[in-house]
């Protein structure tokens, strides 16, 4: 379902670019699927135009067809030299073969040889002047690939507009380029122009409502987006229709509009037990005051493929959010292959915290490092520095540095502004921003897995999860490029 929704959202890209065969964006060598090429360049497409209709269609040359298929296979495997050899053979037999020149244009683009890319596209247009949309189609083919930058995509679209200003293709493609770049108002302007132009097929005009709705939603006009989708849904079929229904339900629920029962039933029948649809169900159950059912649904999402990081906090009230050190005396963190055991000897946050620790990965605990740490009130009050490594057989008194707990100053920063500063292991002092909730799976003393709710801070690279408890803002999880650790067990 996840792939279905993502791919279907870009259906207009495919529909608007369907007037001639073209290679898909280059795939890695491990890709097994290949693009099915057109039979010959002379074969008329379903939406193309021709200056003269032949009495009988040209019969495809079987040898050219086989060579084109072989060229696409090499192209999709990134075997450019082998592909070029086949292209030369194709052009000997069929000098005007579109697939051959399009393959060359694509290979040149991926090599950042834009002059060669343009030269091959211009050759196609010279041979087929009734198809100026080939330039904007090329931009659409590579809409989501950085190999062809936005500037080049826009130039390609403008060339189609210049050559065929009364046709819709160039304007619609320019709108898609703007939309993918996040320029939603510009995209809507180009879409509106395209609606006033001539379309080669009705379906392409119809499906443009989907990216149009997405742009309206992105600029805050959710009601307008819903209206577009409602207009589009009766005219769509199969997979594409369900994509529109999915977005309609999503947008309505975000407006707390619970009139989605019928549409939600449709999605549940079409894609049962899929995470994205289950998420809509959870929101719907919560919005209709069925909290217990919403929590059960949310937990089902968490167990589904790809749902392991789904935030349960809006739906479930039974998440553990505190750790009582009157009952819990030992915390065991996982640090790669090693364990870090912290035994609490005194806990009176924010006045004083003391603990002993052991760290190692061998079954022979006599080989583990160990020590003791005392954290003073001064550090617990105002420290910005975080450390997680200590010398073996040492007793460390932290007067300015804090370990495993946020200081009261950091806590207050987060409560007031959502941002705090944190220095990790001697690195630069970075700003960490609150980004949401996360639940960690932690084993208790009875080896029963419980979900501990925590808040998440991030500086864009590193992430810290900590207890949302002013009396015990314990750091539970830390992820960085150099080190990852997470609370695994409480005893």
- The end-to-end CA distance of the chain, in Å, is 40
pLDDT of 21 > 90? The answer is: no
Quick one: which H or E segment has residue 195? helix 184-195
pTM of the model as a whole: 0.74
- Per-residue pLDDT band at 13 (split at 50, 70, 90): very low
Mean pLDDT of 409-418: 94
∠ at Cα 220 (216, 222), nearest 5°? Answer: 65
Q: Which of 306, 268, 210 is nearest to 2 (CA)?
A: 306
pLDDT of 280 > 80? The answer is: yes
Q: What is the pLDDT of residues 415-447, one digit of tens each?
A: 999 999 888 655 566 889 999 999 999 999 888
- Per-residue pLDDT band at 20 (split at 50, 70, 90): very low
Report the alpha-carbon distance of residue 87 to residue 62 in Å, rounded.
15
Q: Which of 193, 192, 115, 111 is nearest to 152 (CA)?
A: 115
Tokens of 108: 């040149």
Domain ranges of the chain: 12-206, 330-490
Give the E-state strand segments of 319-446 in sequence order: 330-335, 338-348, 352-360, 369-375, 385-386, 394-398, 419-424, 430-443
List beta partners, residue 386.
402, 424
| 55 contacts: CB under 8 Å, gap ≥ 6 | none
Contact (Cβ atoms closer than 8 angstroms) between residue 35 and residue 311:
no
Q: What is the pLDDT of residues 330-360, one digit of tens each?
A: 999 998 889 999 999 999 999 999 999 999 9
Mean pLDDT of 271-298: 94
Q: What is the pLDDT of residues 353-396, one digit of tens each?
A: 999 999 999 889 999 999 999 999 999 999 888 777 788 988 98
How confident is the model at residue 428, as a pLDDT? 63
User: What is the CATH code for 12-206?
Assistant: 1.25.40.10
Average pLDDT value for the chain:
86
Long-range contacts of 338-342 (CB under 8 A, 24+ apart): 339/488, 340/388, 340/485, 342/404
Report the alpha-carbon distance of residue 3 to residue 245 in Å, rounded.
16
Q: What is the pLDDT of residues 38-49, one digit of tens each?
A: 333 333 333 333
Contact (Cβ atoms closer than 8 angstroms) between residue 376 and residue 352:
yes
> Percentage of residues in the chain with pLDDT exceeding 70?
87
Among 57-71, 132-146, 280-294, the least confident range: 57-71
How confident is the model at residue 274, as a pLDDT? 87
Mean pLDDT of 239-243: 87
Contact (Cβ atoms closer than 8 angstroms) between residue 177 and residue 143:
yes
Q: What is the pLDDT of residues 100-158, one digit of tens each?
A: 999 999 999 999 999 999 999 999 999 999 999 999 999 999 998 888 999 999 999 99
């Amino acid at each position: 379902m996840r792939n279905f929704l993502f791919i279907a959202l870009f259906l207009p890209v495919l529909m608007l670019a369907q007037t001639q065969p073209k290679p898909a964006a280059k795939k890695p060598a491990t890709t097994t699927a290949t693009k099915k090429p057109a039979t010959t360049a002379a074969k008329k497409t379903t939406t193309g135009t021709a200056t003269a209709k032949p009495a009988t269609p040209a019969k495809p040359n079987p040898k050219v067809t086989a060579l084109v298929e072989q060229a696409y296979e090499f192209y999709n495997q990134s075997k450019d030299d082998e592909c070029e050899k086949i292209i030369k053979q194709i052009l000997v037999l069929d000098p005007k073969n579109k697939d051959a020149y399009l393959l060359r244009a694509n290979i040149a683009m991926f090599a950042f040889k834009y002059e060669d890319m343009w030269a091959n596209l211009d050759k196609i247009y010279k041979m087929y002047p009734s198809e100026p949309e080939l330039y904007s189609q090329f931009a659409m083919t590579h809409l989501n690939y950085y190999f062809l930058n936005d500037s080049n995509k826009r130039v390609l679209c403008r060339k189609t507009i210049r050559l065929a200003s009364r046709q819709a293709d160039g304007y619609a493609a320019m709108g898609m380029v703007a939309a993918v770049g996040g320029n939603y108002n510009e995209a809507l302007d180009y879409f509106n122009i395209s609606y006033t132009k001539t379309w080669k097929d009705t379906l392409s005009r119809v499906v443009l409502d989907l990216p149009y709705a997405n742009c309206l939603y992105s600029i805050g006009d959710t009601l307008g987006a819903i209206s577009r989708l409602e207009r589009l849904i009766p005219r769509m079929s199969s997979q594409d229709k369900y994509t529109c229904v999915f977005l309609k339900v999503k947008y309505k629920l975000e407006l707390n509009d619970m009139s989605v029962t019928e549409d939600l039933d449709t999605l549940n029948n079409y894609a049962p037990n899929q995470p994205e649809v289950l998420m809509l169900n959870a929101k719907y159950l919560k919005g209709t005051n069925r909290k217990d059912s919403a929590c059960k649904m949310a937990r089902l999402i968490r167990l589904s493929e790809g749902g392991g990081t789904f935030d349960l906090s809006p739906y479930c009230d039974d998440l553990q959010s505190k750790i009582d050190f009157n009952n819990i005396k030992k915390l065991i963190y996982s640090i790669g292959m090693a364990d870090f055991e912290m035994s609490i000897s005194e806990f009176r946050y924010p006045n004083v915290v003391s603990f002993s620790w052991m760290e190692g990965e061998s079954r022979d605990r006599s080989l583990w490092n160990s020590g003791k740490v005392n954290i003073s009130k001064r550090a617990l009050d105002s420290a910005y520095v975080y450390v997680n490594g200590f010398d073996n057989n040492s007793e460390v008194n932290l007067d300015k540095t804090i370990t495993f707990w946020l200081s009261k100053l950091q806590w207050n920063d987060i409560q007031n502004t959502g941002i705090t500063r944190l220095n990790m292991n001697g690195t630069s002092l970075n700003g960490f921003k609150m980004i949401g909730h996360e639940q960690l799976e932690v084993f208790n003393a009875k080896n029963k897995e419980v979900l501990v709710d925590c808040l998440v801070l991030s500086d864009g690279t590193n992430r810290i999860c900590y207890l949302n408890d002013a009396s015990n803002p314990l750091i539970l999880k830390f992820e960085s490029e150099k080190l990852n650790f997470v609370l695994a067990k409480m005893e």
